[in-house]
Structure 1
């Protein structure tokens, strides 16, 4: 009960003062489009995604080549289909921006986005090794949150096993730690702003860089 009250206390002021940061409206038509996406068509479309997101949708960690740092690329395997669909449409309509993904998404129809979403959702989530660091602090944030900072436990939205939830709350289990940390940092400094009612921005702004790194490692190794 305390956890639920904490969550309600966190959400209530946002609902009153914030505006949605995405143009996606989850109408029955849109939900059915994603639900009935064509997996086989999505598999065909995903051939062009392999060079960045991996042959099994596992993503890629940050690495340095020839003195150039290549950014981490998110794992998409096992990701909630509605979340993938929303991100592709957000890239397409300008709610989210990326040098490569914006142009790619603009070349996809709504049906293409749905087909890709269900294909990646059908893949098994990545299995990553445990981190060589103490993750007790991250585990506490996931299971209990922090009442002093009005931070709800992560599991309330993202699930006890980091599996994500319908409609568009992402799965976090198995996500590349480098990408996870970069994403929370982008929410924290406002570079990313397509989270509905600013929820992730407000959460990230209260997390230290060390807490973000711990959470990233915790979810990467979660199965």
Structure 2
């Protein structure tokens, strides 16, 4: 990440940091990273059977309101499960499910989903000029850095808390960014997505959702 982008991000997050409450209880220490890395995917596959109704047998959801988890970074999935359990992320069903999982269960499930091939695009290709500009150029007038600086040029995500977006359900993606924008969701580290999403229009969010859904 170059210095101009770093400066833009720091400027965006400085105000929120001064008043921010902890958005997660997950601390990515070397031991924690190693713990998640060593998750048992075989056990995770068995545990994930309870998730198939919403997230699909192989982590690819057929319902647009539920996210696909196949190919997602293990660290990201682990963090989300922890956040559901600890109350940093609210969802009646997921909170109930996460409450019954141990740390090892979460690491195992995260390992299983990360081992699966990511969703393949079934929506066809569309020209999405607005989304492409935001992904690769950002918008300097609004101090919006390009999306690829965090999520990767192919939507593959980055280690720890930045999710893979390629192939994700467009409806779920739209709902997620909207929830960040209105403050309904608040488990993003340093309020990053809350700050950024507040500068996006409905049209931009919808185009970004379609753009990432059609990546493979």
The TM-score bracket by the shorter chain reads over 0.9
Alignment of 1:76-87 (within 5 A): 76-87=69-80
1:13, distance to aligned residue in structure 2 (A): 4.4
Q: 1:22: which partner in 2? A: 24
* SS class of match (1:174): coil
Q: What's the CA shift for 1:145?
A: 0.6
C-alpha distance in structure 2 between counterparts of 1:102 and 1:155, whole Å: 31
Give 1:18 shift: 3.0
Distance of 2:148 and 2:125 partners within structure 1: 23
Deviation string, structure 1 residues 135-174 (Cα, Å, up to 9, x no partner): 1110110001111111111001111110000111000001
Distance 2:137 2:115 in 1: 31
1:213 and 2:202 matched: no
Picking from 154, 167, 174, the partner of 2:147 is 154
One of 82, 87, 96 as aligned partner of 2:89: 96
* Superposed displacement of residue 31, structure 1: 1.2
CA contact (8 A) 1:78 1:125 kept: yes
Contact (CA 8 Å) 1:60, 1:74: kept in 2 or not? Answer: no
SS in structure 2 at match of 1:100: helix
Cα distance in structure 2, aligned partners of 1:191 and 1:131:
31
Alignment RMSD, CA only? 1.6
- Give the Cα separation in 2 of the matches to 1:163 and 1:132: 18
Of residues 129, 139, 157, the one that matches 2:122 is: 129
> d(CA) in 2 for partners of 1:14 and 1:118?
33
Give the corresponding residue for 1:10. Answer: 12
1:75 to partner: Cα distance:
0.5
Deviation at 1:130, TM superposition (A): 4.4
Contact 1:78-1:120 within 8 A present in 2 as well = yes
In 2, distance between residues paired with 1:132 and 1:168? Answer: 28
Greater CA deviation, 51-60 or 116-125? 51-60
Alpha-carbon contact 1:61-1:177 (below 8 Å) kept: no
Q: Distance in 2 between matches of 1:195 and 1:4?
A: 18
> Residues 84 and 91 of structure 2 are in contact (CA less than 8 Å); yes or no, is this contact kept in structure 1?
yes
Q: How many residues align?
A: 214
Distance apart, 1:49 and its partner CA: 1.0
**SS where residue 92 of structure 2 aligns?**
coil
- For residues 155 and 109 of structure 1, the distance between their equivalents in structure 2, rounded to whole angstroms, comes to 33
Q: Normalization by structure 2: what TM-score?
A: 0.93
Match of 2:181 among 188, 191, 202: 188
Give the conservation status (yes or no) of the 8 Å contact 2:13–2:191: no
User: Which segments of 5 or more consecutive residues in structure 2 lack a partner in the other structure?
Assistant: none
Offset of residue 28 of structure 1 = 2.2
Query: Deviations 1:6-45 (Å, cap 9, x if unpaired)?
Result: 3444344444553431111112221111010001110111
Work out the CA distance in 1 between the residues paired with 2:137 and 2:6.
11
What are structure 1's unaligned runs of at least 5 residues?
63-71
